[in-house]
A = this chain, B = another copy of it.
Amino acid sequence: MTPHPGLAAVAGLIGTWRGEGVGQYPTIDSFSYTEEVTFTDAGKPFLHYLQRTWSPAGAPMHTETGYLRVVEGTRVEFVLAQPTGQTELAEGSLVSSADGFTCLLASRIVNSASAKQVDATRRRLELAGDILTTHFAMAAVGVPLTHHLASVMHRD
């Protein structure tokens, strides 16, 4: 199946990625994790996204899911649902490179009634050939926007 032409700038994401990450935040101890991300093409102008992480001992940690949309090859709209009770609409610029792209996304968050309060997030996704790098910053539980997660994954 050929991806939708509007996805050309991010078609390199299609597939499964695995790697390692490190988390930190002022309110918790730092930690490391294994991450798996899958971007799936459905022949439509978006990619389905599913992410899962595990502790070094193999226990399931986080998961998130949603859709990646591309607008005119230069903007990304990353529409996300969090099992922790947030919706996250992360939007921003897409800059293509010789073997991938970088995108910088700022989010609008909605918190469910029972969720821990998340006020804002920033995401950076960088694809360079067979390496996918992610950065995630978060303003939450009274802490201003602060770096939280970074991971480096390789094509599975």
A residues engaging B (CB < 8 A)? 42-44, 46, 48, 60, 63, 65-67, 69, 71, 75, 77, 79-83, 85-89, 91, 108, 110-115
Known contacts A43-B60, A71-B114, A112-B91; A82/B79 CB under 8 A: yes
Contact with A89, one of B63, B66, B79, B110 (Cβ below 8 angstroms): B110
A113–B107 Cα distance when bound, in Å, is 12
B79 and A60 contacting across the interface, CB-CB below 8 Å: no
A67 and B81 contacting across the interface, CB-CB below 8 Å: yes
Number of copies: 2
B80 and A114 contacting across the interface, CB-CB below 8 Å: no
Besides the known contacts A75-B114, A77-B114, A80-B87, 4 further A-B residue pairs in the complex with CB atoms under 8 A apart? A69-B83, A71-B114, A81-B81, A87-B110
A80–B111 Cα distance when bound, in Å, is 12
A44–B86 Cα distance when bound, in Å, is 16
B81 and A79 contacting across the interface, CB-CB below 8 Å: yes
B112 and A79 contacting across the interface, CB-CB below 8 Å: yes
Known contacts A65-B48, A67-B82, A114-B69; A89/B87 CB under 8 A: yes
A86 and B79 contacting across the interface, CB-CB below 8 Å: yes
Beta-carbon nearest neighbor of A47 in chain B: B83
A111–B89 Cα distance when bound, in Å, is 8
B65 and A44 contacting across the interface, CB-CB below 8 Å: no
Q: A86 to chain B: which residues have CB within 8 Å?
A: 79, 89
